[in-house]
Amino acid sequence: MKYGKIRIEDGYLSFTRHMMLNSLPCRDIMWAYKRREGENSDDGTAKQMVSNYLVIVTRRRKRYKFDMTEKEVQECIHVLKALNPNMAVGFPKGGRLPLQSLPNTRDLGALASEDGRHILPRKLFRSGGLYHASLSDQRLLSEEYHIKTVIDFRSVRERQEKPDAILKGVEYYHIPIMDDESMGISRENSMLEMVLGFQGDVDKLMQKQYESFVRDKYSVKQYARFMDVLLHHEEGAALWHCSMGKDRVGVGTALLLCALGIPRDTIREDFMRTNRYLDKELEYMLRYLEAKKLDSLENVEKISAMYKVKESYLDCVFEAIIAEYGSVERFLRRGLYLTPKTLEELKNKYLV
């Protein structure tokens, strides 16, 4: 089968470069995606040449780009995926997965590092709780996204109330970032009751909580354990989650992206995507409050804090790190035990 200037047959992708025929085993391709260059303006006043390319990345971290039509790129990726089911496809750039019951599960793949590399898709996933995962979503996580490691940031009480859906062939790690007592959860009070019963400035409460994630010795130690699991993770993909996938996961993800050399602006964009993906969940909870005659302005603000993040929360994290350690680099080394050598190992494992 021929697509543009390449040919796929007998499990090999063949192409000519510098007057030489090259044959690449399809099983050695780690990632294939479409790249589009040149765009027409929305109002149609400015037009330019639009080119489509197939980009493939091999296990040796070599990157090839082939000029094709959009249809050829799509057909070629479809054939390559059939020949190599474990190959990553697409350019998610931190976008959510198309799941039925898990609105805040995202692939960090394709986020670009400062040195020009990208996170390999279908390797690192951030998520909310897996308790409500439908059978269809469980199948996709196992068979399509090849989840092999799940890291649970929730407390013991949270796990008991809403245990994870158990995926076949997955290794589970319980790494609670905070304990029940620190979170104010007791057997008598749920998280919702705790939030509605809080008296004070909820915004200041959230900022204080975010600061504690990188100041509290226990929390920092747990994030260090999280990094160690990812450092030694080998087969398939790793997924980490808390209850909503916004606070404990938001900070853990930000720290991981710092370790991988992802620019601060990109980290901020990933952090703020939570508001878009949890918008419908918040809408449902506000209707619940209305039905229970609990929809006072104060309660609406409190519940909104459960489903939304603010840039100021992430600012508090980095400000606390600078105040406590002097720099993010020193925090990674002294707080998370990520030496220059282990940082390089982490980058080589997840960046291409």
The span from the first CA to the last CA of the chain, in angstroms, equals 28
Furthest-apart CA pair in the chain: how many Å? 75
Grade residue 229 by pLDDT with cuts at 50, 70 and 90: very high
C-alpha to C-alpha distances, 15 to 25, 78, 297, nearest whole angstrom: 12, 18, 64
Structure tokens at 125: 């996933």
Per-residue pLDDT, 186: 44
Contacts 24+ apart (CB under 8 A), 46-52: none
Structure tokens at 217: 């010795």
d(CA 311, CA 73): 38
Class of domain 2-89: mainly beta
Phi-psi region of 4 (alpha: psi -120 to 50; beta: other; left: phi over 0): left
What CATH number has the domain spanning 106-350?
3.90.190.10
Per-residue pLDDT, 187: 46
pLDDT for 97-132, tens place per residue? Answer: 999 999 999 999 999 999 999 999 999 999 999 999
pLDDT above 60 for 257: yes
d(CA 32, CA 90): 7
Per-residue pLDDT, 44: 58
DSSP 313-332: HHHHHHHHHHHHHSSHHHII
d(CA 9, CA 217): 56
Task: Tell how strand 237-241 and strand 147-152 pair up.
Answer: parallel
Of 56, 48, 62, the closest CA to residue 5 belongs to 56
Helix (H) or strand (E) run with residue 53 in it: strand 51-58
Cβ-contact 269, 179 below 8 angstroms:
no
Which segment of 2-11, 175-184, 188-197 scores lowest on mean pLDDT? 188-197
Predicted TM-score (pTM) of the model is: 0.92
Per-residue pLDDT, 175: 98
pLDDT for 153-171, tens place per residue? Answer: 999 999 999 999 999 999 9
Same fold, 2-89 and 106-350: no
Which is more confident, 294 or 144? 144
Three-state DSSP class for residue 5: coil
Per-residue pLDDT, 226: 98
Per-residue pLDDT, 45: 59
Which is more confident, 47 or 99? 99
Per-residue pLDDT, 306: 86
Q: Within the chain, where are the H helices?
A: 70-83, 135-139, 156-161, 180-183, 191-196, 202-215, 217-232, 248-259, 264-277, 279-291, 297-307, 311-325, 328-330, 340-350
Grade residue 261 by pLDDT with cuts at 50, 70 and 90: very high
Average pLDDT over residues 303-313: 92
Task: Tell how strand 88-89 and strand 63-68 pair up.
Answer: unpaired
pLDDT above 70 for 190: no
Per-residue pLDDT, 6: 93
Cβ-contact 136, 253 below 8 angstroms:
no
Q: Domain residues of the chain, as ranges?
A: 2-89, 106-350
Backbone angles phi, psi at 351, to 5 degrees: -105, 145
Cross-strand partners of 126:
106, 240
Per-residue pLDDT, 47: 59
C-alpha to C-alpha distances, 226 to 87, 173, 233, 242, 246, nearest whole angstrom: 25, 9, 11, 13, 16
